């Protein structure tokens, strides 16, 4: 099995991550990975990053290939319209197209053992314009250096249509992924 490693951007490369909090989580994860492969769950200390906790999620990677929310930060629970802690992603993600997309992002992060950044615009069916913008980074964790057993996720929601707050898991919406970058 190949060594599990975090891959930093090339020197001088501009990061695709444009949200300061998401970038701070990525930088923290990179610091924990420095020189020894992927970080372990125990390397991530909430005391180090208290202001980032509301945008974080910790997702278990189960041997069956399913994903389960272990922890969900308050901003994400509010945006989802529910606290999905303890629930399987495939049971709570709305709409077949969106569910397939999100699960594929997790699969890619886990399979390649690499951080993955994605942005999506959600489109209002009523007026055809964007109503929310999501920026998210998926950060693999491995406790045994053999397989990715958890994914640390930092996700922010930017609202163009404020009526969509607290509705993310409650209403399936068309979306367009506008950024997809392995880090």
Q: Is residue 23 part of a domain?
A: no
Task: With respect to residue 16, please indicate whether it lies within any of the assigned structural domains.
Answer: no
Query: Is residue 106, in this structure, part of any structural domain at all?
Result: yes
Rounded average pLDDT over 30-48 = 91
Is a pLDDT exceeding 80 seen at residue 130? Answer: no
Q: Which residues contact 88 (CB under 8 A, 6 or more apart)?
A: 66, 67, 68, 69
151 is in which domain, residue-wise? 53-182
174 CA to centre of own chain: 19
Please check whether residue 103 lies inside any domain of the structure.
Answer: yes
Q: Residue 70, SS3?
A: strand
pLDDT at res. 131? 76
Residue at 45 is within a domain: no
Nearest-angstrom CA–CA distance, 47 and 28: 12
Residue with tokens 């997702």: 59
Q: What is the pLDDT of residue 1?
A: 27
Q: Per-residue pLDDT tens for 138-174? A: 999 999 877 999 999 999 988 765 555 544 444 555 5
Percent of the chain residues topping a pLDDT of 90:
56
Which DSSP letter does residue 88 get? Answer: B
Residue 119 sits in a domain whose CATH number is 3.30.450.20
Read off the pLDDT of residues 7-31 as tens digits, 9 standing for 90 and up.
Answer: 444 445 678 999 999 999 999 999 9
| pLDDT tens per residue across span 91-112 | 998 888 889 999 999 999 999 9
| pTM of the predicted protein model | 0.84
What pLDDT is stored for residue 68 in this prediction?
Answer: 98
State the burial class of residue 90 (Cβ atoms within 10 Å of its Cβ: 0-12, 13-18, 19+). Answer: middle
Tell me, yes or no, whether 18 lies in a domain: no
State the total domains in the chain.
1
* In a domain? residue 102: yes
Residue 6 lies in a domain: no
- The residues, ordered by sequence, that sit 6+ positions from 174 with a Cβ below 8 Å of its Cβ are 97, 122, 123, 125
Nearest partner of 72 among 60, 81, 61, 83, judged by Cα:
83
pLDDT of residue 123: 75
């Amino acid at each position: 099995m190949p060594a599990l490693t975090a891959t930093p951007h090339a020197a001088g490369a501009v990061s695709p991550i444009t949200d300061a909090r998401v970038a701070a989580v990525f930088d923290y994860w990179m610091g924990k990975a420095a020189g020894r492969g992927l970080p372990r769950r125990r390397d991530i200390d909430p005391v180090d990053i208290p202001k980032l906790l509301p945008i974080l999620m910790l997702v278990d990677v189960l041997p069956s290939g399913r994903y389960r929310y272990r922890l969900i930060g308050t901003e994400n629970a509010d945006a989802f319209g529910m606290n999905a802690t303890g629930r399987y992603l495939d049971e709570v993600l709305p709409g077949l197209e969106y569910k397939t997309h999100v699960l594929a992002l997790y699969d890619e992060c886990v399979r390649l053992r690499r951080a993955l950044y994605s942005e999506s615009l959600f489109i209002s069916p009523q007026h055809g314009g964007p109503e929310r913008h999501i920026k998210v980074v998926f950060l693999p964790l491995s406790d045994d250096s053999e397989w990715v057993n958890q994914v640390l996720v930092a996700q922010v929601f930017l609202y163009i249509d404020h009526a969509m707050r607290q509705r993310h898991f409650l209403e399936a919406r068309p979306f367009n992924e506008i950024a997809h970058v392995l880090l």
